[in-house]
Amino acid sequence: MNGPSPRILSPTDEAIAEAAALLEKGALVALPTETVYGLAGDATSDSAVAAIFAAKDRPQFNPLIAHYPSAEAAARDVSFDPRAQELARRFWPGPLTLVLPRRADCRVSLLASAGLDSQAVRVPRHEVAQRLLAKFGRPLAAPSANRSGRVSPTLPQHVAEELGDRVALILDGGACAIGIESSVVALLGDDAVLLRPGAVTEEEIQAAIGPLAHAGEAGQPRGPGMMASHYAPELPLRLDATSLSAGEALLAFGPRPLPGATLSLNLSPGGDLQEAAARLFAALRQLDRDGRRQGLSGIAAMPVPDRGIGRAINDRLRRAAAPRPVS
Ligand code: TXA
Ligand code: MG
């Protein structure tokens, strides 16, 4: 916890107006999106963007997404090629982020781009995010509202736990429907590159624009924020568990959870991948917290099918299980 708890407000018109006024003053506000909660600041303000990096303890080389109410609004700041236009047409508003060339007169702070000549842009579908964007009238820089390297928040209480009074106000949108961050696609050269798998699946993206390269594969740079270790609980996470060791909590999936767990949560007893994605981060948080309280030594995760949004789930599980940098 960082200091006293921030206010969590139901998203009435008054609360949206107060949030917009805070943003106008350069303060930071947490807002719900359909993916995860974001920590929003005025994307056109260097000091607001710097405050976002500071509140998250985020390295300055890891750039931020600018959020817009519409593709037309985003087109003021970045250049859309025909592929970008097609993806925006199909998937916006929604859980897809496009990394596009900054226009010469781009209003978004260069700090948000971390010195790159590209800018990540997204049009969220969540009604509260849309209302705040409309009221504020300028793009909002908004990374996930967690401290750097930790699990993204899918409930307002998670944001309060992560950021305490580093955020002025949290708008309450309940639990995020998707629960995993947006898919990130870079369209900067001939290749379209998937930087981060998410709710819009590879198959859907390829159906719209053709073949997709992957960050980190031959000839493709790794995304700047795509560290191997990320989304990490404090307890070590073991993947593809087919049996449980003593002292392990269980992250189960499907109708046949492994026997013998004293502490377990099932991402989806019916084996539904959308439901599993929506529960993933809250489940990791809860197993981590309760497991540590109960003196357990780790979390074992059962395998999740690697198709559709299951790929994004497995990406996040791999990062949560990766060796941590010593800090
Ligand atoms: O669903 C989401 O995308 C949420 C909600 C709040 O919109 N936001 C989010 O932001 O997940 P963040 O900052 O936690 O993740 C953004 C990812 C990072 O991995 C970052 O490195 C990458 O997008 N990114 C941002 N700008 C980029 C750029 N110019 N080039 C390459 N990657 C970029
Ligand atoms: Mg994040």
Residues with CB under 6 A from ligand 1: 33, 35-36, 38, 62-65, 97, 99, 113, 116, 118-120, 122, 124, 142-144, 181-182, 184, 186, 195-196, 223-226
Provide the 8-state DSSP code for 298. E
Return the pLDDT at 123.
98
Predicted confidence (pLDDT) per residue in 99-148, tens digit: 999 999 999 999 999 989 999 999 999 999 999 999 999 999 999 999 99
Longest CA–CA span in the chain (Å) reads: 60
Whose CA is closest to atom 12 on ligand 1? 143
DSSP H stretches of helix in the chain: 13-24, 46-56, 71-74, 82-91, 127-136, 156-163, 202-209, 273-293, 310-321
Nearest atom in ligand 1 to 181's CA: 1
The total of other beta-carbon atoms located within 10 Å of residue 256's CB is 10
Q: Are strands 29-31 and 183-187 parallel, antiparallel or unpaired?
A: unpaired
Output the CA–CA distances (angstroms, integers) from residue 176 to 136, 140, 250, 288, 306, in the order listed: 22, 19, 23, 20, 22
pLDDT band (50, 70, 90) for residue 22? very high
Say which residue, 4 or 112, is predicted with more confidence. Answer: 112
Best CA proximity match to 195, nearest among 80, 99, 313: 99
Predicted confidence (pLDDT) per residue in 240-299, tens digit: 999 999 999 999 999 999 999 999 999 999 999 999 999 999 999 999 999 999 999 999
Q: Quick check: 3 pLDDT over 90? A: no
- To the nearest whole number, what is the mean pLDDT of the chain? 94
CB 123 within 8 A of CB 92: yes
Predicted confidence (pLDDT) per residue in 204-231, tens digit: 999 999 999 998 876 776 777 666 667 7
Q: Cα separation of 36 and 175, whole Å?
A: 9
CA of 246 to the centre of ligand 2 (A): 32
At 319, phi and psi to the nearest 5?
A: -65, -35
Output the CA–CA distances (angstroms, integers) from residue 279 to 17, 35, 251, 287, in the order listed: 31, 12, 11, 12
Q: Quick check: 40 pLDDT over 90? A: yes
| Residue type (1 letter), 305 | P
pTM: 0.95
Q: Which ligand is nearest to the CA of 114?
A: 1
Provide the 8-state DSSP code for 76. T
Return the pLDDT at 6.
87
